[in-house]
A and B are shown apart, each in its own frame.
Chain A
Amino acid sequence: MTLRIVVCVKYVPDATGDRHFAEDLTVDRDEADGLLSELDEYAVEQALRVKEAADDAEVTVLTVGPEDAVDALRKALSMGADKGIHVEDEDLHGTDALGTSLVLAKAVEKTGYDLVLCGMASTDGAMGVLPAMLAERLRVPQMTQLSEVAVDGGKVTGRRDSDTAGEQLEASLPAVVAVTDQSGEARYPSFKGIVAAKKKPVEEWDLAELDIDADEVGLEGAYSLVEDAAERPARTAGTIVTDEGEGAEQLAGPGHRGAGRLARCRRRCLACRGGRRLVPAHQPSRPDR
């Protein structure tokens, strides 16, 4: 039996280039140069490693996005994935994470799967909720934030590291797994891979093909709406505060309670705690007490 792996990949604006919002406050995907989200490369890599370790496996890369999103698929195919699915529809414009999870779920179900792999988040929206939403929609187990993945005899195992503990997890297939950027460096596409990718099939699906109504997705169907966006003010040069007894007040502002009585400050405020930006660093007397 072929192990069917589906990797969800996103085409995102190149973070090293200029990124903007369009007039309707969605991410402008037309103007910016796009690429395969770097965090999704880790998912592709893990899929390829699982495939290499398996007797018989097939890796399908799936993207929902505009026309150019096929570039993200091409990159993944050049890395070694077997085939691609591109879901594209005019009505998808402005779809939020919930809507995207619906489209992905329908597409994953349509193509058939044993294991769905995702990156931990996209490098543009960076919400990181999609794998969980997708698993809920599919009603299958989910394991997120994995730094190791292995498939063996109908189950997928993995490791999740947190600040305090490393967990060893296991789920029965089918399942949804999201991997972190600690899971292993993604391979580079080789020239051979680029040539081979030209011959690999990419299917194009629209909403009708997935039995999704236009009003379930897009800006209309979105549960959240961006009302306003303001450009982040340009970074100004930092101010160096020389502490001559008034340092905390200068840093935290006059409304700050500890201001003026630095030594007795009982709040774990930035000014008293780290003193990182204070010159010279002051030693508050036991701020925790």
Chain B
Amino acid sequence: MTDHTTTPYLLPPMYDEFRAAARTVAEKELGPRAAEVDARGGFPHDNYATLTAAGLHAPGIPEEYGGDGVDALAAAIAVEEVARVCASSSTIQTSNKLGVVPLLLAGTEEQRRRYLPEVAAGEALMAYAISEREAGSDVAAMRCRAAADGDDWVLDGVKTWITSAGVAMYLIVFAVTDPDAGSRGISAFVVHADDSGIGYGEPERKMGLKGSVTREVYFDGCRIPGDRLLGERGRGLRVALGTLDHTRVSVGAQALGIAQGALDTAVGYVQERQQFGKAIADFQGVQFMLADMAMKVESARQMVYAAAARSCVAAPDLTYFGAAAKCLASDVAMAVTTDAVQLLGGYGYTQDFPAERMMRDAKITQIYEGTNQIQRIVMARKLLQTR
């Protein structure tokens, strides 16, 4: 007999509880401050405190390291709900995840115990530094050097566009340890914000995500002890890409949240706005746009949750799903936020309404953690591999 009251394809009720909890905090605390966070720019310390108090700043850290121990799906829902009202604030979560995952994938037990509890307690924010001016999509072309000196490592070089740099207490940094070994010559390290020889650039002036801080990080003879090497020497790129498999799910969730926020804004507005003697929601041309937007948002959600499920169990097809989820959800976010601005008309183009902010915030999700062209390359590679 088939049980008609439940199916594996519906989320268990506990996830509704997670969503309700995150949404309450988002709507009561973060939403009302979102416009100000965007206008003021810079890292929103107040929202970091709010997220920490609510236990939403770093979802998914295992319980043995002081975290909430929730799975990647619950963590994705947390990011989605925060991004729905304030994309900038959700970078606190994604930034932390970019620091936590490499430690879980490649860190020693000692390293995990050293860093994860502080992140779980909201005492330390993390950052992930791989990109360089001349090495964005082509990460293996990085130049930042880490030279062995006795037991220590000495870092020299520049990392660019590093989210949360200057605020983060710990940075996962990728650098070349063996210049002749090509992609096998890159290693991962944990660098402390107060290590000597580290410096920060001015915050980038960005199109969106203004309530997050993005800076260059300079290493000038930055000396760190040998136990900061994360994973094996020469296997840094593996750590980097293995991390992105998981964290692209978060970027997908972030994009999904932005899209949902824009859809909600548009649905509310069109029912209020009167033209030609009736609500613009009464026009079929508007209704069809809404239907398309909602359809896209929901398909992005299905893709992101499917990828999150694969992240939970580290499934072999996670790489494909992570890329697909991030790519689809961010393309949807861009399309839906653009349509939301359209539906709000002239008001949508002004900062008195949130649609234009959402549109500016959506754009980054098509770019970081690998541009969407790179995601398509990743997916195509997986597709063609199996033939």
- By a beta-carbon cutoff of 8 Å, the part of chain A in contact with chain B is 74, 78, 187-195, 198
Contact = CB atoms under 8 A, between A and B. Distances in A.
A130 to B, nearest CB: 26
Contacts of A193: 55
Interface of A (DSSP majority class): helix
Interface of B: 14, 17-18, 21-22, 24-25, 53-56, 59, 63, 67-70, 74, 78
B192 to A, nearest CB: 27
18 contacts: A74-B17, A78-B17, A187-B53, A188-B54, A189-B21, A190-B54, A190-B55, A190-B56, A190-B68, A191-B56, A191-B59, A191-B68, A192-B63, A192-B67, A192-B70, A194-B18, A195-B69, A198-B14
B70 A195 contact: yes
B262 to A, nearest CB: 23
Contacts of A198: 14
Contacts of A187: 53
B21 A194 contact: yes
A78 to B, nearest CB: 7
Contacts of A195: 14, 68-70
Given A191-B56, A191-B74, A78 B68 contact: no
B69 A192 contact: yes
A188 B68 CA distance: 14
A78 B63 CA distance: 16
Contacts, number: 42
Given A192-B68, A195-B70, 8 more contacts: A188-B21, A188-B25, A191-B22, A191-B55, A191-B74, A193-B55, A194-B14, A195-B69
A221 to B, nearest CB: 35
Nearest to A192: B68
A198 B18 CA distance: 13
Interface of B (DSSP majority class): helix
Contacts of A74: 17
A78 B24 CA distance: 14
A200 to B, nearest CB: 14
A195 B14 CA distance: 8
Nearest to B70: A191
A75 to B, nearest CB: 9
A190 B78 CA distance: 11
Contacts of B69: 192, 195
Contacts of A192: 55, 63, 67-70
Contacts of A194: 14, 17-18, 21
B33 to A, nearest CB: 16
A198 B54 CA distance: 18
Contacts of B22: 191
Given A193-B55, A195-B68, A188 B24 contact: yes
Contacts of B56: 190-191
Contacts of B24: 188
A194 B18 CA distance: 7
Contacts of B68: 190-192, 195
A40 B251 CA distance: 37
A117 to B, nearest CB: 22
Nearest to B75: A191
The CB with the most chain A CB atoms within 10 A, among B17, B25, B59, B63, is that of B17
Nearest to B29: A188
Nearest to B21: A189
A74 B67 CA distance: 21
Contacts of B17: 74, 78, 189, 194
Nearest to A188: B54
